[in-house]
Amino acid sequence: MSTAEKTVKEIQNQIVEEFSFFDEWDEKYAYLIELGKKLEILDPSHKTEEKKIKGCQSQVWLNSYLKDDKIFYQADSDAVIVKGLVSLLVRVFSGHPPAEVAQADIDFIDEIGLKQHLSPTRSNGLVSMLKQMKLDAVAYQALLQSKQ
């Protein structure tokens, strides 16, 4: 089964399994940093104020689009660990029907021991980013329904 055919839940499980290989926190973070550095470059035309999600500390730019009735995300951040986390969210959410994304529970970040990054602190753009990803999915879901 290719990635695109997996459900949001299945991809989350896969990520949890990947992280289970790391015993030490520094290995886990080194992997996140690597993922952050490898995240596909967001086209500068999408790095606008409108697409910027402001945290107190780091910024995230998020773009989403619909292709073959599936939602895809692209993102970037000025902080590399956030970028690594963002890359995981992009991987989990991209390529699914908007309705599935809109309803999905995100629990893998907690399970891989990175829950503090989803704590309700102002310092963190990630919570706002997750919220925006869901909002985009809801918007596309509505768009698809109106076409039917």
Partner 1 sequence: MSGTKIKGLDLTTIREEFPVLDQQVNGKPLVYFDNAATTQKPKAVIDSLVSYYSSYNANIHRGIHTLAEKATAAFESTREAIRAFINASSTEEIIFTKGTTESINLVAATWGKENIQKGDEIIVSGLEHHSNMVPWQILANEKGATVKIIPVNENGELILTELNNLITAKTKIIALNHVSNALGTINPIAEVIKIAHSKNVKVLVDGAQAVSHLDIDVQKLDADFYAFSGHKMYGPTGIGILYGKKALLEEMPPYQGGGEMIKEVTYASCSFNELPYKFEAGTPNIADAIALKASVDFINRFGKPAIREVENQLLDYATQKLSAIPGLTIKGTAKEKVSVISFVIEGIHHQDLGILLDQEGIAVRTGHHCTQPLMGHFGITGTARASFAVYNTFEEIDRLEAGIKKAVKMLK
User: What is the contact mask toward partner 1 in residues 6 to 25, using x (rule: CB under 8 A)?
Assistant: -------------------x
Contact window for partner 1 (CB under 8 A) among 39-47, 74-82, 99-107, 129-137: 74-82
Distance CA 28, CA 22 (A): 6
Distance CA 52, CA 63 (A): 9
Contact window for partner 1 (CB under 8 A) among 14-22, 61-69, 72-80, 140-148: 72-80
Distance CA 86, CA 80 (A): 9
Phi, psi values for residue 96, rounded to 5°: -115, 160
Contact between 80 and partner 1 by CB under 8 A: the answer reads: yes
Contact between 56 and partner 1 by CB under 8 A: the answer reads: yes
**Cβ neighbour number for residue 28 with a 10 Å cutoff:** 17
Per the annotation, the verdict on 56 as an active-site residue is yes
How many Cα atoms occupy the beta-carbon half-sphere of 127 within 13 Å? 14
- Of 35, 53, 75, 82, which one interacts with partner 1 (CB under 8 A)? 82
By annotation, the residues acting in catalysis are 56
Interaction site with partner 1 (CB under 8 A): 25-26, 29-30, 33, 56-59, 78-82, 116, 123
